[in-house]
Amino acid sequence: MNNLMNFIKGKTLFVSTLKDGKPTIRPFGAVMMFENKLYLNTTNQKDVYKQIIENPNICVCAVGENRQWVRIHGIAKIDDRIIAKQQMLNENPVLLERKRFSSANDPSMIIFYLENMKVEFH
């Protein structure tokens, strides 16, 4: 897990879901390792949230230097705990700086972790 975090921290991650049975992908930036799980965040206003609720099987990809990349498959599990949301804000202060969320109590803030992860480094 530490190797994975070292590789993806600070990089743009691309998260793939299904929309109407077709793949769709979008960039993510905020990420954290919490309780030995990989967490990402979004808002309950975005399509990606609705897609995760409908089908929680997602794929995450990040590209590093020297043409190295990682692909992560997993099942997105929503975590509504304030302690987990606060940790996301602590590790990614840009979420507050850009006024994406007002606090860990912001009802639009959604964080999720990946369960049954399969990580492939290439």
pLDDT at 69 over 90: yes
* Structure tokens belonging to residue 58: 């997602």
**Strands 22-28 and 13-19, bridge-based pairing:** antiparallel
pLDDT attached to residue 85: 97
Measured CA to CA, the distance from residue 28 to residue 30 in angstroms comes to 6
2-121 classified as CATH 3.40.190.10? no
Q: Which sequence spans correspond to the domains of the chain? A: 2-121
pLDDT attached to residue 30: 93
Within 8 A by CB and 6+ apart from 41, the residues are 28, 30, 88, 92, 95, 109, 110, 111, 112
pLDDT attached to residue 65: 85
pLDDT attached to residue 66: 86
Weakest-pLDDT range from 1-5, 76-80, 102-106, 107-111:
1-5
At 119, is the pLDDT very low, low, confident or very high (cuts 50, 70, 90)? Answer: very high
Neighbours of 22 (CB within 10 A): 7
Mean pLDDT of 34-40: 96
